[in-house]
Amino acid sequence: MVLICPQCGKAALYLETGGVMGDIYRCKNCTYIGNFVIESDDPDLSNELEEGRRAELGR
């Protein structure tokens, strides 16, 4: 599984910290920091994101 940045669509996230706010992720490709990430088994999900296929977010 990979974590996709919701801002730039790249699988460049890493876990910054976990705490009272929940897990915070930071993107190595852009300036995104936050707890909202897109989980995928497909590293190429960025293309699918542009097609609006966000149903796989559900959990």
Interface with Zn ion (CB under 5 A): 5, 7-8, 27, 29-30, 32
Residue closer to Zn ion (CB basis): 30 or 57: 30
| Closest distance to Zn ion from the beta carbon of 41 (Å) | 19
CA separation for the pair 34, 44 (Å, rounded): 21
CB contact at 8 A, 33 and 6:
no
Residue closer to Zn ion (CB basis): 15 or 30: 30
CA separation for the pair 17, 39 (Å, rounded): 17
Residue closer to Zn ion (CB basis): 14 or 20: 14
How is residue 14 annotated by DSSP?
A: E
